């Protein structure tokens, strides 16, 4: 198992890492394939971009990020993070990014954004649903943002020529089960 920058994962697969399944959002896999082909996809569910903020603040809409009370806002790097691309698209489509100006910071990953929010090093940040579900008491609050960016549809993509493996077939069947759906929901997919 490997987690991290999807471009690095796909590059490793292209070099023959032996990975059989990649879990990511479908749109990302379609754009960063680097010659890696997928023979099938198992839909896992949809998720959303989430705005989380530090303790001591409260928001009812993301537009409040432009207020004088907010000094810093972060999102993950759009080049390597699904939620970075979603945040960037949201900030562009709503015009909020231009209004934030120098308040906006780009950091490497969702866990880094969340850690900065928890530690109060930034006022607010864009993360994924699972970060908030796993640690709701460590932040001031959160808002789910369902529009303003391309949908985030997570899939398990089977690498070309790996689908005949009994282990891959068993795992893909498991992903379709009610038990797997319970696990996926606990991890922010529905």
* Residue 14 belongs to domain spanning: 6-46+151-186
Confidence of residue 4 (pLDDT cuts 50, 70, 90): low
Output the pLDDT for position 32. 77
Domain assignment present for 1? no
Helix axes 166-175, 178-186, angle to 10 degrees: 70
Q: 122 with 58, same domain? A: yes
| 19 and 2 Cβ atoms separated by less than 8 Å | yes
Q: Across the chain, where does the E strand assignment appear?
A: 21-25, 38-47, 49-53, 73-76, 104-107, 124-128, 141-145, 152-159
Domain assignment present for 156? yes
Q: 104 with 129, same domain? A: yes
Mean pLDDT of 58-87: 94
HEC-encoded secondary structure of 57-73: CCCCCHHHHHCCCCCCE
- Give this prediction's pTM: 0.87
Q: 102 with 138, same domain? A: yes
Domain assignment present for 176? yes
Report the domain count for the chain: 2
Confidence of residue 21 (pLDDT cuts 50, 70, 90): very high
CA-CA distance, 11 to 33, in Å (whole number)? 8
Q: 84 with 42, same domain? A: no
Q: 53 with 141, same domain? A: yes
**Sheet with strand 152-159: strands edge to edge:** 21-25, 152-159, 38-47
Domain containing 112 — which CATH number? Answer: 3.40.190.10
């Amino acid at each position: 198992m490997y987690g991290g920058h999807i471009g690095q994962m796909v590059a490793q697969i292209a070099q023959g890492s032996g990975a059989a399944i990649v879990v990511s959002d479908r749109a990302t896999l379609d754009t960063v394939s680097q010659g890696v082909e997928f023979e099938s996809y198992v839909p896992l569910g949809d998720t959303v971009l989430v705005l989380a903020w530090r303790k001591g603040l409260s928001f009812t809409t993301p537009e409040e990020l432009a207020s004088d009370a907010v000094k810093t806002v972060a999102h993950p790097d759009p080049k390597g993070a699904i939620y970075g691309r979603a945040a960037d698209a949201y900030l562009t489509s709503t015009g909020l990014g231009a209004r934030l100006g120098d308040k906006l910071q780009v950091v490497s990953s969702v866990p880094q954004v969340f850690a900065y929010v928890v530690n109060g090093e930034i006022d607010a940040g864009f993360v994924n649903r699972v970060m908030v579900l796993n640690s709701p008491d460590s932040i001031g609050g959160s808002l789910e943002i369902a529009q303003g960016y391309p949908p985030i549809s997570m899939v398990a993509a089977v690498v070309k020529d790996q689908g005949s493996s009994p282990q891959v077939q068993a795992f893909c069947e498991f992903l379709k089960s009610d038990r797997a759906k319970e696990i996926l929901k606990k991890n922010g997919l529905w």
